[in-house]
Structure 1
Amino acid sequence: MPLPTLSRRSLLLGAASASALPAAWAQQNAQPNWSAIEKAARGQTVYFNAWAGSERTNAYLQWTAGEVMASHGVKLEHVKITDTADVVKRVRAEKAAGRGEAEGTVDLVWINGENFATLKREGLLFGPFAETQPNFQYVDVEGKPTTRNDFSVPTDGMESPWGMAQFTLFADGKRLSKPPQNMAELLALARSQPGRITYPRLPDFTGTTFIKQALIEHVADSSVLSRPPVETAFAQQTANLWKFLDALHPQLWRGGKQFPQNPAAVRQMMADGELLLALTFNPNEPANELAAKRLPASTIAWQFNKGTIGNTHFVAIPYNAKAKAGAQIVTNFLLSAKAQARKADINEWGDPTVLDLKKLPAAERALFPARPLPGQVAQAAPTLPEPHAGWVDPIEKEWTRRYL
């Protein structure tokens, strides 16, 4: 899911692209003495700065605190924040004030996007540490490439993956027997059922993601999306996108002249039968809504078979963290099957796992449901990396100019 702590500031605006890990990183990536880290961590207090706007998130972190205290003698304090950018400012200020490498107030931070890019670019992170953790071996780095790439910025081991988000569609299977598997099929469905499909008005995050998904499927050369757009080429590179939307919009709810304000409104209209389908960036949302009896038992969820846009949210350790060893104990626990299974449980949080379940020992694999729950995606599709965030602003401006 998009991190609730992050606004548009959380999107990377500087140019960066995935690259091979630097030699210095590879040299440091030798497995550390984990027993020494465990010994150093005992008795430490880890101040974890994380968004506190969800009761489920807060409860999960309380449970985590109990687990790491019982297993490693590490005290975890949840520092409740509303915006990760404020944490970035604090770490910057501490650097400017000359605070040393063990004199900071932040030991761990929930992060992604521009906030991570800023801390990495300015040398304000501890690491690399992520891929030396014992539990990193179970991360799905192949099926979920965004676990190593944060909005076009290679993580280089400087942040540890924690959870996933991916563009997902859902509907009442009794009303929609053949879900569309790409934007072309969605257009065909809209033409056959005019007025029964829509998406949230931009700049709503899910609405913008819908447009980015359409862009990926219609751009002639997808490699250009990993870099900021070039103004002189923007019109040509997006021409097929606008052609597609020009064909789609007259078939939408209210003829494409109005758009719902947010995905919750779209979901409600779908639940009421006014719309055929709804959209989300959390693959577990339909299952959560079904379990809460806000969606019918016949709800189905899916992703386009060739892939949909996804990203990963992470945790990172500032350069001046006082409890670096304790923080690593926490991050490694957050990657454990026990912690990931609880977080993925729709009754606890419902945040998709970053792990490759096939890599887990049988006993740990059994912590996860053997088959999708009602309302969950039956067959996960490949994760497509986000276009470079530099595309967001010009696309939203052009969309507004054309359609509002």
Structure 2
Amino acid sequence: MRRFGIRRIRFGTFIAGAAAALLVLSACSAPAPAQQSFASWDQVVADAKGQTVRLWMYGGDEQGNAYVDKDLIPAAATLGVTLQRVPVADTRDALNRVLTEIQAGTRDGTVDLVWVNGDNFGTGKQAGAWSCGWTSQLPNMLLTNSSDPLLGNDFGTPVQGCEAPWSKAQFTIAYNSATVTDPPHTLAGLLDWAQQHPGRFTYPAPPDFTGSVFIREGLDSVSGGDKNVPLRFDQKAFDRLTPALYSRLKELAPSLWRQGKTYPKTSAELNTLYAGGQVDFTMTYGPAELTKLVADGTYPAATKVLTLNEGTVGNASFLAIPSTSGHKAAAMAVANLALSPEQQAAKADPRVWGQYTVLDTARLDPAQRALFEQLPQSAVVPSYDVLSRNANPELSAAWVPALDDAWRRLVLAGR
């Protein structure tokens, strides 16, 4: 979900950790998602006082870390809740811990809240890792649009009250307009540009979260648009559509940075290449961060967002409460706080974190709406309305490992 920078872990670790735990749970008829209900919101607030909430989240996003430490933690303290940020290298680490605690029968686990989306959420839901039925009790959920498809489904998995929305994201490609004077405006055109300018473009190797979404963007492109790719994974559709994708990426590889013999392992490595002028493009699921990176001189002053005619993939990230948490009231209080207009506006400020709000601003009162209207406008990044134009829906989570695994076999190892 950075931004949405929700991360996925290396495939080998996945097999050793969450997948193995899921197999055990499935063999024993995985438990239904835990239901959580309180008599009233006043009871939630009363029970939350004095509790500690351990929020497990990706620790590699400095702006995200700073927002939680400087804004969300002090605000939680005013509710009588001690909020602790637990940094992880990958969201899968948190899921692995929860699945391990489920197997051990733990009722008061070490994870109370997780920043999550995508296959991590889907895998956990299948294994009964998340508490469900609690989000409708959050007062601030009334400020969201219940019919918003980004909030109702997470990579094709119905949310069903098992996680509260936190941020929206839009996959975005950025470029140095000082060196790219005639930018392409389709993904197919971008790949053509890369072949015409050898060594000046690359992308992170899947299963890096950003590298994975770039592959999914490529699948939409070679298939003639996202409407030609079924959202639900289908092996016949995979076999029919993906040969053109991997053929195109294999053809592209020799023109990439270092002739495609190696790829950045993470989006952070790609960002470093772009900041150092070794490539002319970078990509992110958190475009608002570009504003600060340009302002502080990390990125070239001529950095601009590449607007693709066919649009790009958009999604949302969420906060989930593990079924093993012993501090559910406090976790609910923090999730509701994170949905407040004040916190959503603070998080949306590009000088703070720059995460797009999940609130429906039409449901806000004038004072709340003003919090967003007063946010500084970026000279680098268009508004969310512009970025999300023609937005493509996320494929179901089952597509992700299938596409990533085939990329490793056919593109990375197949050269």
Q: Could you tell me the TM-score, scaled by structure 1's length?
A: 0.79
Question: Alignment partner for residue 297 of structure 1, among 282, 297, 301?
Answer: 301
Q: Which moved more, 1:160-169 or 1:56-65?
A: 56-65
Question: Alignment partner for residue 113 of structure 2, among 104, 108, 124?
Answer: 108
Instruction: Measure the CA separation in 2 of the matches of 1:3 and 1:254.
Output: 27
Q: Quickly say closer, same or farther: Cα 1:186–1:366, change in 2 above 3 A.
A: same
Partner of 2:41: 34
The alpha carbon displacement at 1:73 in A equals: 2.4
Deviations 1:295-328 (A, max 9, x none): 2333211442432123333211123433222211
Partner of 2:130: 125
Q: 2:205 touches 2:211 (CA, 8 Å); kept in 1? A: yes
Partner of 1:21: none
Task: Indicate the SS of the match to 2:167.
Answer: strand
Instruction: Measure the CA separation in 2 of the matches of 1:225 and 1:43.
Output: 44
Instruction: Measure the CA separation in 1 of the matches of 2:49 and 2:352.
Output: 28
Instruction: Measure the CA separation in 2 of the matches of 1:2 and 1:164.
Output: 11
Question: Alignment partner for residue 2 of structure 1, among 5, 9, 24?
Answer: 5
Task: Indicate the SS of the match to 1:366.
Answer: helix
Q: Which moved more, 1:349-358 or 1:189-198?
A: 189-198
The alpha carbon displacement at 1:44 in A equals: 3.0
Q: 1:290 touches 1:299 (CA, 8 Å); kept in 2? A: yes
1:374 aligns with 2:382: no
Q: 2:38 touches 2:44 (CA, 8 Å); kept in 1? A: no
Instruction: Show structure 2 runs of 5+ residues with no match.
Output: 23-31
The alpha carbon displacement at 1:6 in A equals: 4.5
1:322 aligns with 2:334: no
Deviations 1:241-268 (A, max 9, x none): 2454466456555665665555455545
Instruction: Measure the CA separation in 1 of the matches of 2:181 and 2:364.
Output: 35
Q: Quickly say closer, same or farther: Cα 1:203–1:172, change in 2 above 3 A.
A: same
Alignment of 1:66-81 (within 5 A): 66-70=74-78, 72-81=79-88
Question: Alignment partner for residue 351 of structure 1, among 343, 348, 355?
Answer: 355
Q: 2:7 touches 2:91 (CA, 8 Å); kept in 1? A: no
Q: 1:340 touches 1:353 (CA, 8 Å); kept in 2? A: yes
Q: Quickly say closer, same or farther: Cα 1:83–1:261, change in 2 above 3 A.
A: closer
Instruction: Measure the CA separation in 2 of the matches of 1:32 and 1:303.
Output: 48
Q: 1:163 touches 1:354 (CA, 8 Å); kept in 2? A: yes
Partner of 2:393: 384
The alpha carbon displacement at 1:79 in A equals: 4.0
Task: Indicate the SS of the match to 1:354.
Answer: coil
Instruction: Measure the CA separation in 2 of the matches of 1:343 and 1:400.
Output: 37
Q: 1:5 touches 1:51 (CA, 8 Å); kept in 2? A: no
Instruction: Measure the CA separation in 2 of the matches of 1:89 and 1:263.
Output: 23
Alignment of 1:1-400 (within 5 A): 1-4=4-7, 6-8=9-11, 33-62=40-69, 63-70=71-78, 72-100=79-107, 103-139=108-144, 145-176=149-180, 179-190=183-194, 193=197, 196-219=200-223, 222-227=228-233, 229-230=235-236, 234-245=238-249, 248-249=252-253, 252=256, 259=263, 262-264=266-268, 266-267=270-271, 270-271=274-275, 275-368=279-372, 369=374, 372-378=377-383, 379-381=386-388, 382-386=391-395, 388-391=399-402, 392-400=404-412
Query: Size of the alignment, in residue pairs?
Result: 386
Equivalent residue letter for 2:409:
K
Deviations 1:15-48 (A, max 9, x none): xxxxxxxxx99xx999973233223323333333
Deviations 1:43-72 (A, max 9, x none): 3333333344455434333332221222x3
Deviations 1:124-152 (A, max 9, x none): 42221224422223336666x33332233
The alpha carbon displacement at 1:190 in A equals: 4.2
Task: Indicate the SS of the match to 1:226.
Answer: coil
Deviations 1:259-299 (A, max 9, x none): 55554555455556564432223212322310221223332
Q: Which moved more, 1:149-158 or 1:181-190?
A: 181-190
Instruction: Measure the CA separation in 2 of the matches of 1:276 and 1:194.
Output: 11
Equivalent residue letter for 1:282:
G
Equivalent residue letter for 1:377:
P
Partner of 1:20: none
Instruction: Measure the CA separation in 2 of the matches of 1:358 and 1:296.
Output: 36
Instruction: Measure the CA separation in 1 of the matches of 2:361 and 2:247.
Output: 41
Instruction: Measure the CA separation in 2 of the matches of 1:86 and 1:204.
Output: 15
Instruction: Measure the CA separation in 2 of the matches of 1:207 and 1:89.
Output: 22
Q: Could you tell me the TM-score, scaled by structure 2's length?
A: 0.77
Q: Which moved more, 1:50-59 or 1:318-327?
A: 50-59
Task: Indicate the SS of the match to 1:164.
Answer: strand
**Root-mean-square deviation over aligned CA pairs:** 3.7
Instruction: Measure the CA separation in 1 of the matches of 2:109 and 2:341.
Output: 30
Equivalent residue letter for 1:107:
D
Partner of 2:25: none
Instruction: Measure the CA separation in 2 of the matches of 1:43 and 1:116.
Output: 28
